[in-house]
Amino acid sequence: MANSTSGDSVTDRLVRVLSTFTPTRTVQTAAEIGRRADLPSSTAHRLVGELVDSGLLERDDDRRIRIGVKLWELATRSSHALRLRQAAMPSMERVQARIREHTQLAILEQDEALFLERLSGPESGSNVTRIAGRLPLHAASSGLVLLAFGDRELRERILAGPLVRTAAETLTDPAALRRKLAEVAALGYAVAPGYIEAVSTGVAVPVRDETGTVVAALSVVLRRDAVIEPALVELHRAAREIGAALGYRR
Amino acid sequence: MANSTSGDSVTDRLVRVLSTFTPTRTVQTAAEIGRRADLPSSTAHRLVGELVDSGLLERDDDRRIRIGVKLWELATRSSHALRLRQAAMPSMERVQARIREHTQLAILEQDEALFLERLSGPESGSNVTRIAGRLPLHAASSGLVLLAFGDRELRERILAGPLVRTAAETLTDPAALRRKLAEVAALGYAVAPGYIEAVSTGVAVPVRDETGTVVAALSVVLRRDAVIEPALVELHRAAREIGAALGYRR
């Protein structure tokens, strides 16, 4: 077909269109979408038009495009992410209420930590994490847990780099990261002081399903100078509860 | 093209494929998807294959298909639903902690109430609502609020029926529903005793944005015999806070 420049499937083009939307870029024109998705203008306009007709994208009064509620609904109502998040919510709420800092649930997704949930209170400190946002595995405390308890192949792939620096204290030296991961595996939790932001310390523990497999990381973002023990006690207890809740399939 | 039976777009077919997944049907074979989406077998297998390749669907070890985490991520990270839900979460958590019953946030979507969030505690009673699930506007307390404060055209369309019965006490008589909606508009809240389930009473209030437009309904699901006043006080306070939080764009 004339508009298919590189033999990629319609699904590929759809993913490229959806990928142009980000947490900080929630509305765009069809022309902007086409440029950012690297699609010919006519293809972009036709595809965006179809997606608006189907409700997956929405067009506002200024003819700008945003993600449709219908896409969120279809993606969410039967998703695995929702099941895990539902199992975790009661325990996460208690951690947030007691520690009063950001409380987060992350899974491994394509070599990054993908955050399924983030609960925050009015007193919670600085935090860059967003729901459905990602962070590099070697930088976030959640990522260190997923990496330390993940398979060896994943670990070697990440250690092979590149290890991006997200803050002055991020571990970007492979040897230092390897020692850190051995420590996380031995301790059963990860502490990441200043790895993401100089003012914060991430603390994370693994969440295991009924087979003992680590399926997620539960974390809090503390002030840099906070004592971590109270948070660790709450996180470990919550992780055990979430694992048990995952065992009861509904 | 040979496989395009009815001239529908690829986007239409994609929506039909995604729509075969529901809260109670989260894994299917490609053949089941094809049958339920009313697609020729070869089309279904090719489309499912493309969607798996792109990560929008996932295939497990038994070759069964489920919604991919990537689809959830793309749909969620820049969605309007997430912004509203984020603005509402701190207030919803307080309502849930104080009333100890299911606390829910719903918006109007294609003539139904779509639930963006549901917080529940271990003591919360019976509840049919699911996140990303829907209920008929005339039956749920949230729906009555969205209907009473929605535009006249919507109200007349719903009153014209059909008004499905979800429980013995659901209002299915248009005249009775019209009186109920006038009452909701006058009182500023909706009480739906036994409309969805005989054992529960839904109580909902409108959430208004900075222009005064009703953008959502906030509700709790109480035991049928519970007093509603404490819940109403909490709901009204939370709705005001959410409206104010929506005003601060981030």
Contacts of A80 in chain B (CB under 8 A): 26, 58, 66-67, 69
| Cβ neighbours for A215, distance < 8 A, ≥ 6 positions apart | A84, A107, A207, A208, A209, A246
Whether residues B186 and B108 share a domain: the answer is: yes
- Print pLDDT tens along chain A (250 aa): 334 444 578 888 888 999 999 888 989 999 999 999 999 999 999 999 999 998 899 998 888 999 999 999 999 888 888 889 889 988 998 999 899 999 999 999 989 999 999 988 777 788 888 888 999 999 999 999 999 999 999 999 999 999 999 999 999 999 999 999 999 999 999 999 999 999 999 999 999 988 899 999 999 999 999 999 999 999 999 999 999 988 754 3
Which chain B residue lies closest to A118 (C-alpha atoms)?
A: B86
Q: Which residue has 């749920």 as its token pair? A: B140
B101 and B37 belong to one structural domain = no
- The pTM assigned to this predicted structure is 0.84
* Residues B60 and B96 occupy one common structural domain: no
Mutate to test the interface with A, among B21, B25, B71 (most CBs of A within 10 A): B71
DSSP state of B62: T
CB contact under 8 A, A67 and B86: no
Helices B41-54 & B10-19, crossing angle to 10 degrees?
80
- Looking at the structure of chain B, the number of domains it has is 2
* Amino acid sitting at position B144: L
Domain boundary at B60, B75, B90, which?
B75
Q: Which of B4, B18, B48, B117 to probe the A interface (max A CBs under 10 A)?
A: B18
Same domain, A124 and A205: yes
pLDDT in tens, B185-239: 999 999 999 999 999 999 999 999 888 999 999 999 999 999 999 999 999 999 9
My answer on whether B91 and B67 are in the same domain is no
Domain match, A116 and A201 both: yes
Complex ipTM: 0.84
Q: What is the DSSP string of B33-96?
A: HHHHTT--HHHHHHHHHHHHHHTSEEE-TTS-EEE-HHHHHHHHHT-HHHHHHHHHHHHHHHHH
Whether B142 and B228 share a structural domain: yes
Q: What secondary structure letter does DSSP report for A149?
A: T
Q: Which residue, A130, A147, A128, is CA-closest to A138?
A: A147
- Domain of A21, CATH number, reads 1.10.10.10
Between chains, do A79 and B67 touch, taking CB under 8 Å as contact?
Answer: yes
Q: Cβ contacts (< 8 Å) between B93 and chain A: which residues? A: 93, 96-97, 119
Q: Are strands B112-119 and B134-136 parallel, antiparallel or unpaired?
A: antiparallel
Task: Please calculate the CA angle B2-B3-B8 and round it to the nearest 5 degrees.
Answer: 110
A234 in Cβ contact with A95 (< 8 Å):
yes
Structural domain includes residue B43? yes
Q: What residues of chain A lie within 8 A of the CB of B19, using their CB?
A: 74
Among A75, A99, A120, the domain-final residue is A75
Q: Which residues of B touch A75 (CB under 8 A)?
A: 18, 67, 71-72, 74-76
The answer to whether B122 contacts A90, with C-beta atoms less than 8 Å apart, is yes
Top mean-pLDDT range of A150-164, B109-123, B126-140: A150-164
- Which of A22, A54, A65 to probe by mutation at the B interface, max B CB count within 10 Å? A54
What pLDDT, on the 0 to 100 scale, is given for residue A7? 55
**Do B72 and A121 lie within an 8 Å CB cutoff?**
no
Does any domain span residue A3?
A: no
Cβ distance B69 to A15 less than 8 Å, yes or no, reads: no
Nearest partner of A202 among A234, A228, A169, A172, judged by Cα: A228
Round to whole Å and give the CA distance between B146 and B190: 10
Residues A221, A100 share a domain: yes
Instruction: Report pLDDT digits (tens) over B193-207.
Output: 999 999 999 999 999
Print the domain residue range for B31: 10-75
In a domain, A19, yes or no: yes
3-state secondary structure of A218: strand
